[in-house]
Amino acid sequence: MVIFDTIKKRIKGFVKRDEMLNEYTSIRIGGPADILVIPDNVEDFKWLIGFVRKREVRYFIMGNGTNLIFSDKGFRGVVIKTNRCFNEMKIFDDRIFAMSGIDLLKLILKSVENGLSSLEPLIGIPGTVGGAIWMNAGAFGKEVKDCIEKVYFIDRYGEEKEAEMNFSYRKSPFNRGDIITGALFTFEKKDRLEIMKEMEEVKRRREENQPLGFASAGSVFKNPANGYAGEIIDRLGMKRMSIGDAEVSAKHGNFIINRRDATCHDVKRLIEKIRDRVKKEEGVELELEVEFVKEK
C-alpha cells in the first residue's frame, strides 16, 4: 500500500495496481501484477529502480512481453515496462544508438531508411531492442549480437556501465538484475532497394511458416545442436496437440498458440508432454527459449 502510494506520487507515467499481465504479453497469458509501472522518462525509471532495490521489493523488467509467460497467479512485486522511457534513437553515419525500449522494428526501419544493412533478417521479431539484446534474438542466420558494438546497462548494484559483450546462441552475458538501457549498432552501407528486397523475402517466409495471426510467444524451444525443434515436433506428429486452449501450431511445430483462454498451466503441461516424447523417441533434451516468470 505504502509502496504503491509512494510510486504513484513520484512517477510520471502509468502506475496501476492489480493490472492483468495477459494484456501485456503476446501470448495473452498472465494474472495480475501487484503493481505495473510504465515510467515516462529515464529519470523516473532510475528513481524507481533505486526505490525498489532499497526497499527490497521484487521487480521484473519487461519490454514488449513477446518472449514471456507469466504465472496465472500473476507477479508478486513490481513489473516495470521500458518502452516509454528508453525511447530515443540517434544515427551517426553507419552507426545507430538505440535505447532499449524502442521496438526492434523501428530500429530496423530506421537503418533501412538510411541505407544501412545488417538487421533486416530480424524483421518480424516483435520485441524491443532491450528484449532482443537480453536473449540475443536471431532469425535466418543473423543474431542481434552480429551488429552490436557496445551495450549500455545499469548493473545490479546500480552502476551505469558500457561494454563490449560476448553473446552466444539465444543468450547474452547479462545477469538477472542488470538493466539494458541501450546499445550502439554498426551497419554496412548498402543499396536501400536491395535491403528492402531482402526484408520482403524475410516477411514472406515468416508469413508462410509462422502462425502470425495467433497469440504466441514465438519459438518455444531453442533449436538443438543438430536440427530444428519444430521439425522434430512435426516428425513426431505433435502438431495440433493441445491441452486446454494451448495448442501446438499446425503451421509451425515450435510455436504454441493460445486459441483463446489458455493458461500458463496448460502451456507448461503441453511443453512437458512434448519434451518427454522428444527425449524418449529422439534422445534430445529440448531447452526452453520462452521464459516463464514465477509468481514469487
Catalytic one of 19, 120, 247, 289: 289
Within residues 196-215, the interface with ligand FAD by CB under 6 A covers 210, 212
Closest CA to 35 of 50, 22, 21: 21
Length reported for the chain: 296
Please report whether residue 134 would count as binding ligand FAD according to CB under 6 A. yes
Please report whether residue 118 would count as binding ligand FAD according to CB under 6 A. no
- To the query of whether residue 156 is one of the catalytic residues in this protein, the response is no
Catalytic one of 28, 100, 143, 170: 170
How far is the C-alpha of 146 from the C-alpha of 99, rounded, in Å? 17
List the x/- string, 17-56, binding to ligand FAD by CB under 6 A. ---------x------------------------------
Q: Work out the number of other CB atoms within 10 angstroms of the CB of residue 237.
A: 10
- To the query of whether residue 289 is one of the catalytic residues in this protein, the response is yes
Q: Closest approach of Cβ 117 to ligand FAD, in Å?
A: 18
Q: Is the four-CA dihedral 143, 144, 147, 153 of positive or negative sign?
A: negative
List the x/- string, 223-262, binding to ligand FAD by CB under 6 A. ----------------------------------------
Asked if 70 and 21 count as a contact pair (C-beta separation under 8 A), the reply is yes
Catalytic one of 117, 216, 219, 249: 219
CA 134 from centre of chain = 8
Rounded to 5°, angle at Cα 131 from 259 and 193: 90
> Which of 71, 216, 223, 249 is in the footprint of ligand FAD by CB under 6 A?
216
- Could you tell me which residues are beta bridge partners of residue 291? 68
Please report whether residue 71 would count as binding ligand FAD according to CB under 6 A. no
DSSP percent split of the chain into helix, strand, coil, nearest 5:
30, 30, 40
How far is the C-alpha of 197 from the C-alpha of 201, rounded, in Å? 6
Q: Is the four-CA dihedral 276, 138, 75, 152 of positive or negative sign?
A: positive
Q: How much is the CA Rg of the chain, to the nearest whole Å?
A: 20
> Which of 49, 132, 183, 256 is in the footprint of ligand FAD by CB under 6 A?
132
Which residue lies nearer to ligand FAD by CB, 134 or 187?
Answer: 134
> Which range touches ligand FAD (CB under 6 A), out of 44-52, 134-142, 241-249, 268-276?
134-142
Please report whether residue 87 would count as binding ligand FAD according to CB under 6 A. no
- To the query of whether residue 113 is one of the catalytic residues in this protein, the response is no
How far is the C-alpha of 293 from the C-alpha of 21, rounded, in Å? 11
Q: Which three cell numbers stand for residue 293?
A: 516468470
Which residue lies nearer to ligand FAD by CB, 3 or 202?
Answer: 202
- Write out the catalytic residue numbers: 170, 219, 289
Binding site for ligand FAD (CB under 6 A): 26, 61-68, 82, 100, 125-128, 130-132, 134-135, 137-139, 179-180, 210, 212, 216-218, 291
